[in-house]
Amino acid sequence: MTKPLLDIDKLTTCFSSHQGIAKAVDTVSLSFMQGETLAIVGESGCGKTVLALSILGLIPDPPGRVTEGRILYRGKDLLDMSDTELMQVRGNHISMIFQEPMTALNPVFRVNDQIAEPLRLHQGFSKKEALDKAVDALNMVGIPNPTAIAKTYPHELSGGMRQRVMIAMALACNPDILIADEPTTALDVTIQAQIIDLMNDLTEKMHSSLMLITHDLGVVARMAQRVAVMYSGKVVELADVNSIYAKPLHPYTQGLLASVPTLGDTQRLNPIPGIVPSIFNRPQGCRFHPRCPKAYQKCSLMLPPLFEPEPGHTVRCWLYEE
């Protein structure tokens, strides 16, 4: 059987503060293959972005630190690499589109300089060659008049254009893995659709794998092959996208899907009751049990392991113990 391109094994990332030590990502295990799109979904604060930053070694230390686990890229553990070795992977083999392009792009450098930097650093291009490649990258992501746009500063561009610049920068070195953190946040619906189609086309053309971090289940349905649902630092359900939508098993996944408004629905929205527990004060047992309509006594006493009630469909819930 073909080995996973990226294999995350029992990854734990902790943060320290005056309130104590908190596990933002708690023994998460995931893997995905070459060319696959894996979506990570869940409410804000569930650990999605921390997981992505942990993969790239971008957790600020202090206060954060990866304390356990392995992140195997093509069989090599990224956590064992030196800073120099990791820099050769980051932006070259594994790239990331950050959540807010206005803060991710450097405001004092022109667009072409920012796209050219990884090309010069990782691919060995001269300055002129890298700048020419930057224009090609802007053209690739559908920016009109790329030669002129290349010489602008980020603040001169619209949100959709900045997001395209971020995609061009992330894909400039033709990486194996692209991590996209909420790539359509703060964009209007028309631009969202364009960005989704663009990312689908480019990852397919380059045979890149995509880790899509989002809370938008509509985006997941259009882009992903498999879905991992996270809650309070843990993966609570993992399956292919069709299984998740047709037969969600975890009560939290069921609540997420039930809360999505549908066209023509005149009923009130169905939000999940309660709030996500504090990272410093998580409930004993299943972390979702205070909000779960199907919880029973065992749920409040013991944290459930991952069960596999159906082939390839795992769920962290005591309802599937047998």
Sort 282 into a burial class: Cβ within 10 Å, 0-12 / 13-18 / 19+: middle
Single-letter residue type at 249: L
> Residue 40: which H helix or E strand, with range?
strand 37-41
Q: With beta carbons less than 8 A apart as the criterion, state whether 267 and 250 touch.
A: no
What pLDDT, on a 0 to 100 scale, did the predictor assign at position 304?
Answer: 95
Q: Where are the domains of the chain?
A: 6-93+173-260+271-320
Task: Kindly list the distances between the CA atom of residue 232 and the CA atoms of 212, 288, 317, 318, in Å, as whole numbers in the listed order.
Answer: 18, 8, 14, 17
Q: What is the pLDDT of residues 141-182, one digit of tens each?
A: 888 999 999 999 999 998 888 988 988 898 888 899 999 998
306-315: b (≥16 Cβ within 10 Å) or e: ebeeeeebbb
pLDDT above 90: residue 115:
yes
73-88: b (≥16 Cβ within 10 Å) or e: beeeebbebeeeebee
Task: Kindly list the distances between the CA atom of residue 60 and the CA atoms of 50, 57, 64, 322, in Å, as whole numbers in the listed order.
Answer: 10, 9, 6, 42
Report the half-sphere exposure of 237 (CA within 13 A, side-chain side). 27
CA atoms of 179 and 293, how far apart (whole Å): 34
The string of DSSP letters for 119-183 reads HHHHH---HHHHHHHHHHHHHHTT-SSHHHHTTS-GGGS-HHHHHHHHHHHHHTT--SEEEEEST
What pLDDT, on a 0 to 100 scale, did the predictor assign at position 123?
Answer: 87
Average pLDDT on 189-196 reads 82
88: region left, alpha or beta (phi > 0 left; psi from -120 to 50 alpha): alpha
Contacts of 203 (CB under 8 A, 6+ apart): 35, 37, 178, 209, 210
What pLDDT, on a 0 to 100 scale, did the predictor assign at position 265?
Answer: 67
Confidence of residue 198 (pLDDT cuts 50, 70, 90): confident
Q: What is the pLDDT of residues 65-103, one digit of tens each?
A: 999 999 999 989 999 999 889 989 998 899 998 877 778
Q: What is the pLDDT of residues 206-225, one digit of tens each?
A: 888 999 998 888 889 888 99
What pLDDT, on a 0 to 100 scale, did the predictor assign at position 216?
Answer: 83
Confidence of residue 284 (pLDDT cuts 50, 70, 90): very high
Note if the bond before 273 is cis, omega within 30 degrees.
Answer: no
pLDDT above 80: residue 266:
no
Average pLDDT on 272-282 reads 88
pLDDT above 60: residue 1:
no
Higher pLDDT, 195 or 234: 234
Instruction: Give Cα 48 to chain centroid, integer Å.
Output: 6
Per CATH, the homologous superfamily of domain 6-93+173-260+271-320 is P-loop containing nucleotide triphosphate hydrolases (3.40.50.300)
